[in-house]
Amino acid sequence: MEQKNFKFKKTDYKMKLGVVMDPIETINFKKDSTLAMMIEAQQKGHEIFYMTPDALFIDSGTAFAISSKVEVRNDPANWFSLEEAFRVKLSDLDAILMRQDPPFNSDYIYNTYVLEMASRHGVNIFNNPKSLRDCNEKVFATEFPQCCTKHLVTSNKELLKNFVEEHKDTVIKPLDGMGGASIFRIKDNDPNLSVILETITNHFSEKVMIQEYIPEILEGDKRILVINGKPMQAAIARIPAQGELRGNLAAGASAVAKSLSERDIWICNQVAPSLIEKGLLLVGLDIIGDYLTEVNVTSPTCFKEYKELCDIDVAQIFIESVEEISQ
């Protein structure tokens, strides 16, 4: 599916917009970016077809879902109403937002196959389901070594130990982790080095990423949302809680707005052509200090933080981009 770089403009185009997301009753109303997208789409007059990940299926070579039309509201006590569920052929929709949260497990992969089948029959899927499979959020960053600190992706015991010995102060994390889970800081001569490596690699059977520790984490792990290759004109810096390593809001970090540095803009420009080529309409770049650490493609967040802290309406920019590509 080719997705070009469009200029945003007002439109009277009305979409049948599918949204694949985790159960809407379980979301965090104050923080949920998918809800912000849906509210914006509804305000523009689009019909929203809500579907949970387990509702996607293939019937004799055609992609379907059990879906409900949904009305959404900016009301913390009553943010949605669902109509009666029905069977919908996905190719009858104009666009589908894949907003299933990680973990990126086998069921997630199977859902991308269903969505890829629908895309072959003409519906636009955001983000491109093939690219969701191809672009692990940590490994994808390594395609831009000029943007990254020293790093290694391996399950090999000796390679990991040698990296720690060479770089003295390191951070190690699983490739399929989310929300800051299972991230460790390891220093040279750490008495727990062997047990940490054994645990995080499942006895050296699963690859992990290890990278140099970046001291600027204390100033915040910057999230920069990029839509159609264009970064928002600010970053949301997630400041780790006292005594914490992880700059993740899910791990207790606090959010502040920061201006983009020249290096931030340069990193965005380095990554943007690949994002456009791969059909990754919405991406969250994570940058610590001067270094790219992750390229988040599955369900990027921080829409609410951008609105509250920067007065940037990411939901509006995103839905207008979906409109331009889909009509």
Q: Could you identify the residue written with the tokens 């509804």?
A: 42
Average pLDDT over the chain reads 94
Q: 284-314 in b/e burial notation, b at 16+ Cβ within 10 A?
A: bbbbbbbbbbbbbbbbbbbbbbbeebbebbb
Instruction: Mark whether 205 and 258 lie in a shared domain.
Output: no
The catalytic residue positions are: 138, 173, 223, 238, 246, 286, 294, 296
Residue 166 lies in a domain: yes
Is residue 179's pLDDT more than 90? no
Contact indicator for 210, 168 with CB cutoff of 8 Å: no
- Whether pTM > 0.85 for this model: the answer is yes
* Sequence letter at residue 321: S
CATH of residue 178's domain is: 3.30.1490.20
Give the per-residue pLDDT at 181: 78
| Residues linked to residue 98 through DSSP beta bridges, in sequence order | 20
Q: pLDDT per residue over 26-57, tens digit each?
A: 999 999 999 999 999 999 999 999 999 999 99
pLDDT of residue 11: 54
Q: Is 56 exposed, middle or buried (0-12, 13-18, 19+ CB in 10 A)?
A: buried
- CA dihedral of residues 183, 189, 192, 198 (deg, nearest 10): 70
CATH code, 113: 3.40.50.20
Domain residue limits at 203: 150-213
Q: How confident is the model at residue 139 (pLDDT cuts 50, 70, 90)?
A: very high
Share of the chain above pLDDT 90, in %: 89
61 and 87 housed in the same domain: yes
What are the φ and ψ backbone dihedral angles of 196, each rounded to 5 degrees? -65, -45
Tell me the mean pLDDT in the region 280-287: 98
Give the distance from CA 123 to its chain's centroid: 21
SS3 116: helix
Residue 2 lies in a domain: no
Asked if pLDDT for residue 128 goes beyond 50, the answer is yes
Quote the CA–CA distance of 232 and 260 in Å, as a whole number: 9
Considering the domain architecture, whether residues 185 and 222 belong to the same structural domain is answered as no
In a domain, 1, yes or no: no
Show the CA angle centred on residue 206, arms to residues 203 and 209, nearest 5°: 110
